Structure 1
Amino acid sequence: MKTPYTLIKFARYIKNVWLNSISSSPFIPYQLRRILYKLYGHQVSRIFLNCFLGYGPGHLYVGKNTYCNSLCFFDLGNDITIKDNCCVAMQVSFVNSTHDIGDSEMRGGRGKSKPIVVEDGCWICSRVTILPGVTIGKGCVIAAGAVVTKDCLPNGLYAGVPAKRIKDLK
């Protein structure tokens, strides 16, 4: 008889195959992908192929008229919400898990996670990394390659590492 730990590992394996091999396959149209993700509690409007959904307990919500381009990473240690009318370019990473700093024996201490929220009308350019607990305000543009470590106020252009507001948008 299998131990509970073995069953948990097997369930994670099946979930990974389902979400990250079958559902994200180039052979699956986005309309079907939406249905396949829903079976695991995710509500998405349009996600392109080859995106990776993590094993965590969080859920992904992608609003109406929003799309996430190819090769995006969704950590899912906590919920990730991308609201309506957003554009998420390729290779954007939504990283909402981290660790406390541990002692010298093991610096990666106790794990923790916080939700990520992207408000309506945002454009997240390619290769942006969004870290735990961040809310990106309505109508923001996050420039390519930026690392978002703190909340972004509405209607601003943010760029850099760490991302800073460089321009007000109308």
Structure 2
Amino acid sequence: MSLSKVREIVWREDGDRRPIIWGLVVNGIIGSAFIPNRVRTQLYRLMGLKLHPKVIVRSGVIFRSDNVMVGASTLIGYRTIFDTRQPLVIGKNVSIGPNVTFVDTDHEMSNPERRAGASTVGPIRIGDGARVSTGSIILPGVTIGEGAAVGASSLVTKDVEAHSLYYGIPAKKARDLPR
């Protein structure tokens, strides 16, 4: 194996815009529990993440890329995973519970010899004032409307209407919420 191939493997994985060292700094050092929340947000901003200065990011959050944009007064809970290749936009005053996963990529499955075929992506959007509760998974192409709430451990495969409560696997509308 050539030295250039070794550098390529060590420096950047397939499909990543950022070098591996970026992930180590962002997810290992900055994401550690030893960094205070407000300092963590400012360090993430220095690393290229588009976070409003008043965002709170708890420890253990994983960013696959810098394609995450977050509005003011939003809270991102412990161990949230942003596995994103497209821009993921989170509005202001949003509450994201711990252990939430955002995944904007899937794979074509028509080939019986390789079910993880070509990637398909769909951007994710979270409206202002929304809430995504503990352990939920948000899949590609989903928009969670303004003021909506997603119940704990829900699997969100389709858009969530504004000012509505959704929960379950897959998440379904339970009721309207006050406006």
5+ long unaligned stretches in structure 1:
none
Q: Which residue of 1 aligns with 2:57?
A: 47
Residue range with higher mean Cα deviation, 5-14 or 80-89: 5-14
SS of corresponding position for 2:73: coil
What is the Cα deviation at residue 3 of structure 1? 1.3
C-alpha separation in 2, matches of 1:5 and 1:47: 34
What is the Cα deviation at residue 68 of structure 1? 0.5
Residue range with higher mean Cα deviation, 100-109 or 152-161: 100-109
Letter in 2 for 1:168: D
TM score, norm. by length of structure 1: 0.92
SS of corresponding position for 2:89: strand
What is the Cα deviation at residue 99 of structure 1? 0.7
Residue range with higher mean Cα deviation, 98-107 or 135-144: 98-107
Kept after mapping to 2: 8 A contact 1:98/1:132: yes
Letter in 2 for 1:51: V
Letter in 1 for 2:8: L
Q: Which residue of 1 aligns with 2:16?
A: none
Deviations 1:82-124 (A, max 9, x none): 1001111000000111111141110111012221100001111
Q: Which residue of 1 aligns with 2:10?
A: 9
Letter in 2 for 1:87: S
User: Which residue among 108, 114, 128 is the counterpart of 2:136?
Assistant: 128
Deviations 1:45-95 (A, max 9, x none): 22100011114xx51112111100101000022111110011110000001
C-alpha separation in 1, matches of 2:5 and 2:37: 35
C-alpha separation in 1, matches of 2:146 and 2:30: 30
C-alpha separation in 2, matches of 1:76 and 1:33: 20
Q: Aligned pair 1:19/2:26, yes or no? A: yes
SS of corresponding position for 1:84: coil
Residue range with higher mean Cα deviation, 40-49 or 21-30: 40-49
Please list every run of at least 4 consecutive aligned residues from structure 1 whose deviation after the TM superposition is greater than 3 angstroms. none
Kept after mapping to 2: 8 A contact 1:34/1:43: no
User: Which residue among 111, 131, 143 is the counterpart of 1:103?
Assistant: 111
What is the Cα deviation at residue 33 of structure 1? 1.5
Letter in 1 for 2:61: C
5+ long unaligned stretches in structure 2:
13-18
C-alpha separation in 2, matches of 1:140 and 1:51: 23
TM score, norm. by length of structure 2: 0.87
User: Which residue among 148, 152, 173 is the counterpart of 1:144?
Assistant: 152
C-alpha separation in 1, matches of 2:7 and 2:106: 25
1:103–1:7 Cα change, 3 Å: closer
